[in-house]
Chains A and B, each alone.
Chain A
Amino acid sequence: MTPEDLIGSGLLEAYALGRTTPEETALVEKARATHPSVRQELDALYASLEELAMKQAVVPPVHIRASVLKAIGHPEADRVRSLSPPPVNTGRSRWLVAASVVALAGSLGMNIQLYRTLANVKDQLALLVVERSVLAQEMEAQKVSLKGSQEQLAVLLDPSRKVIGMAGSALDPTGAARVYWDPVSHEVYLTVLSLPAPEPGKQYQLWALADGVPVDAGVFDVSSGPQHMKMITSAQTFAVTLERTGGVPSPTLSALYLMGQVG
């Protein structure tokens, strides 16, 4: 009988179920030892019957366990009985339950860990968003500042630009400022080098004198950095007076602080 014939004959099933004649038993056991396919078939049959037994499991009364341990002479049968919980389910299920509990505990632990990590990451992300926003604003400010600087630099480096140094009058001999005037584009910038801070309600005002006529070039603050003033089309002299805030139509000569000639 070939292994295939044997597998198809029903003899392996009869053997697995437990009752074959001695001749049949010898035949099956020899074939199992020599043919892996026969062995596999038998293993599969036993697996089915084991699974059937697991599916049909019934938990025996608790006291049987102690009786068994006592019968085999377990040295601590009674103690074992009191300490060991009764089997609540089949062996496979028990292992599965134990494995599940371990897996669940592990999973819970991991979830908690993941949750904490997630919370941390969220916090960090929120922080990063804020930081990014701040940085973006700073960058925008820097861009504006850089653009202004570049424009100012372009103004200063423009060969047609005239630089007029203004010196302090008797009111403040140490006073000094510079005017950058482009006769072509008419643009005027002013940088204060030294001027006393004006009292409240007062503001310095720049004038351009063209043919003796003062033209308002705008008020300015005593701050660092170049300030963009009003357009001036024509000028031989620039002067600064201290006026009321917002400026006046014509300069107060008694409050003349600075003056410089266009070179």
Chain B
Amino acid sequence: VSNSGIDSGTLLLEAVQRGDHDALAQLYDQYSAALFGTILRIVGTNDQAEEVLQDTFVKIWRSAATYDPSKGRTFTWMLNIARNTAIDLARTTQFRAWEKIQGIDKHVYRLGSDEERVRSENLGIDSVLSRLKPEHRELIDMAYYQGYSQQEIADRTGLALGTVKSRTRAALQQLKEALMDHA
């Protein structure tokens, strides 16, 4: 995977910008599973995740023109759309109300809890993150999957902002190593 060259996703997204429906279908075929796995991690239920996945691809279709290749690869761009859409949904009052109705714990705000772990293991998606130290995993969860800012994380964890920043860097370096071990 090249970070500099034009990847197939970029070519497809350019076709999507021109209104090529088939190109979006191909993007879906290439990336839907990765996006769905990420979305599931954030919203936690299949129904919500399916809704978010569909919304994500509609957003990709509608906002393809705003994609700026200089700011990162296609996949990252789509991943951020999926993540933000999922986080937005997780944060809506409807979702919270729905959670209450369903009697499900607000796992998205209680990361590292037993429910979270069980869910992740059931999905089979936690094998990489589970290799991280708990404090590193928690940081990635809060920032990446829950969308908290560094200040919010500091407030919630009681850590100094500087510590949050240095720990975030350490967490991602550990993630990189875990991914290499996992390969």
Contact of A48 among B73, B151, B175 (CB under 8 A): B175
A42 and B70 alpha carbons, distance in the complex (Å): 12
Residues on A with C-beta less than 8 A from B94 are none
> Any chain B CB within 8 A of the CB of A65?
yes
Contact of A13 among B31, B61, B124, B171 (CB under 8 A): B171
Within 8 A of B (CB), among A89-118: 89-95
> Any chain B CB within 8 A of the CB of A73?
yes
Across the interface, do A55 and B127 meet the contact criterion of CB distance under 8 Å? yes
Across the interface, do B127 and A19 meet the contact criterion of CB distance under 8 Å? no
Q: Number of contact residues on B: which range applies?
A: 35 or more
Given contacts A10-B169, A21-B149, A45-B172, contact A58 B125 (CB under 8 A): yes
> Any chain A CB within 8 A of the CB of B43?
no
Across the interface, do A13 and B54 meet the contact criterion of CB distance under 8 Å? no
Across the interface, do A74 and B172 meet the contact criterion of CB distance under 8 Å? no
Residues on B with C-beta less than 8 A from A10 are 164-169
> Any chain B CB within 8 A of the CB of A184?
no
A93 and B172 alpha carbons, distance in the complex (Å): 23
Across the interface, do A19 and B149 meet the contact criterion of CB distance under 8 Å? yes
Residues on A with C-beta less than 8 A from B123 are 58
Within 8 A of B (CB), among A38-69: 40, 42-61, 64-65, 67-69
Q: Give, as a whole number of angstroms, the nearest-CB distance from B176 to chain A.
A: 5
Given contacts A55-B182, A68-B58, contact A19 B143 (CB under 8 A): yes
Stretch from B78-86, B95-103, B104-112 contacting the other chain = B78-86
Nearest B residue to A8, CB-CB? B169
Within 8 A of A (CB), among B150-164: 150-152, 164
Within 8 A of A (CB), among B57-96: 57-58, 61, 70-73, 75-76, 79-80, 83-84
A110 and B31 alpha carbons, distance in the complex (Å): 32
Across the interface, do A53 and B1 meet the contact criterion of CB distance under 8 Å? no
A106 and B26 alpha carbons, distance in the complex (Å): 25
> Any chain A CB within 8 A of the CB of B30?
yes
A87 and B176 alpha carbons, distance in the complex (Å): 27
A189 and B103 alpha carbons, distance in the complex (Å): 123
Across the interface, do B128 and A50 meet the contact criterion of CB distance under 8 Å? no
A102 and B144 alpha carbons, distance in the complex (Å): 37
Across the interface, do A60 and B165 meet the contact criterion of CB distance under 8 Å? no
Q: Give, as a whole number of angstroms, the nearest-CB distance from A179 to chain B.
A: 94
> Any chain A CB within 8 A of the CB of B118?
no
> Any chain A CB within 8 A of the CB of B140?
yes
A68 and B147 alpha carbons, distance in the complex (Å): 25
Across the interface, do A74 and B21 meet the contact criterion of CB distance under 8 Å? yes
> Any chain B CB within 8 A of the CB of A17?
yes
Residues on B with C-beta less than 8 A from A61 are 46, 50
> Any chain B CB within 8 A of the CB of A141?
no
Given contacts A65-B29, A94-B29, 11 further A-B pairs with CB under 8 A are A13-B168, A43-B3, A46-B76, A47-B3, A55-B179, A59-B36, A60-B32, A60-B53, A64-B50, A92-B30, A95-B8
